[in-house]
Amino acid sequence: MSFMTWRTAIGGLKAWASKSGSMMLGFPEWVVYAFIVPSLALTAAIAFVQVWQGADAGATAKKAVAQ
pLDDT reading at 60 higher than 70: no
**Cα(34)–Cα(15) distance, rounded to whole angstroms?**
11
The boundaries of the domain holding residue 14 are 2-66
Number of folded domains in the chain?
Answer: 1
> How far does the chain reach from its first CA to its final CA, in angstroms?
37
| Sign of the torsion angle spanned by Cα atoms 6, 8, 13, 14 | positive
**Closest to 8 (Cα-Cα) out of 50, 47, 51, 16:** 16
**Widest pairwise Cα distance in the chain:** 67
pTM (predicted TM-score):
0.72
Confidence of residue 64 (pLDDT cuts 50, 70, 90): low
Structure confidence by residue, pLDDT tens digits, 11-43: 999 999 999 998 888 899 999 999 999 999 999
